[in-house]
Amino acid sequence: MGTGSRIIARIGVVLATVVVSAPPATAAPPRTPWPPPVTALAHDGVRATYDWPLRPRPRVVRSFDKPARNWLPGHRGVDLAATPGQPVLAAGAGTVVFAGAVAGRPVVSVDHPGGLRTTYEPVEPSVTAGRRVGRGALLGTVIVGHPKCAATACLHWGLRRDRDYLDPLPLVRAVPIRLLPTGTGQARG
């Protein structure tokens, strides 16, 4: 083996040693896809992980209306028909990160795995920040006072990932299953 070949071989050993001994990269926690893909709702437990924040299943009286830009008007959540004093439940397991007033309205916020945060207002909180809650845990009770509520009282239920507002309804709505015809193995449409 010539001198040049030995130098190249040593460089290869040094590079291999550096690559092998390098500390592993820290991976970011997995993010829950949004909207959840059909397979996630049907098979990966997303539907089973979240539930309605009111019992029985409430009527949606105002839908999600995401504005084109964050500073424009819109409706960054859904309004659910409620009654004053009705229990508000955590839609999913997580940690209460806020329970207090925002712009004079009582709000409870819960962080969930995958970078999601649900918000509930107007709610008289029965929890404090830092408390871990399971799906269905009592967060507080609905109080009257949500603006533009089309019912006796409304729970405004919101969902965010970072600063991005999302429609919370895909968390709890079942995805219809469509069967393809059998026989030839090809779908007709």
Mean per-residue pLDDT over the chain, rounded = 76
Q: Is the pLDDT of residue 16 over 50?
A: no
Strand 123-125 with 138-142, pairing: antiparallel
Strand 138-142 with 87-89, pairing: antiparallel
**153 is written with which tokens?**
């009282």
* Average pLDDT of the segment spanning 102-130: 94
pTM of the predicted model as reported, rounded to 2 decimal places = 0.68
Helix or strand or coil: residue 16? Answer: helix
* Average pLDDT of the segment spanning 61-90: 82
**Unique residue bearing structure tokens 């997580």:** 94
Per-residue pLDDT tens for 121-179?
Answer: 999 999 999 999 999 999 999 998 776 777 789 999 999 998 888 899 999 875 555 55
Question: What is the per-residue pLDDT for 128?
Answer: 97
| Rounded CA separation 171/50 (Å) | 6
Q: Give the pLDDT band (50/70/90) at residue 20.
A: very low
Is the alpha carbon torsion for 174, 159, 136, 125 positive or negative? negative
Domains detected in the chain: 53-171 (2.70.70.10)
Tell which wins on pLDDT, 150 or 28: 150
Q: What is the DSSP letter of 36?
A: P
Question: What is the per-residue pLDDT for 86?
Answer: 96
Question: What is the per-residue pLDDT for 40?
Answer: 38
| Rounded CA separation 134/62 (Å) | 27
Question: What is the per-residue pLDDT for 123?
Answer: 95
Q: Is the pLDDT of residue 41 over 50?
A: no
Tell which wins on pLDDT, 25 or 106: 106
Q: Do 145 and 122 contact (CB within 8 A), yes or no?
A: yes
Q: Do 60 and 77 contact (CB within 8 A), yes or no?
A: no
Question: What is the per-residue pLDDT for 55?
Answer: 95
Identify which of 102, 104, 99, 153 has the alpha carbon closest to the alpha carbon of residue 126: 99
Q: Is the pLDDT of residue 15 over 90?
A: no
Helix or strand or coil: residue 11? Answer: helix
Tell which wins on pLDDT, 25 or 57: 57
Question: What is the per-residue pLDDT for 151?
Answer: 74
Identify which of 92, 90, 89, 64 has the alpha carbon closest to the alpha carbon of residue 78: 64
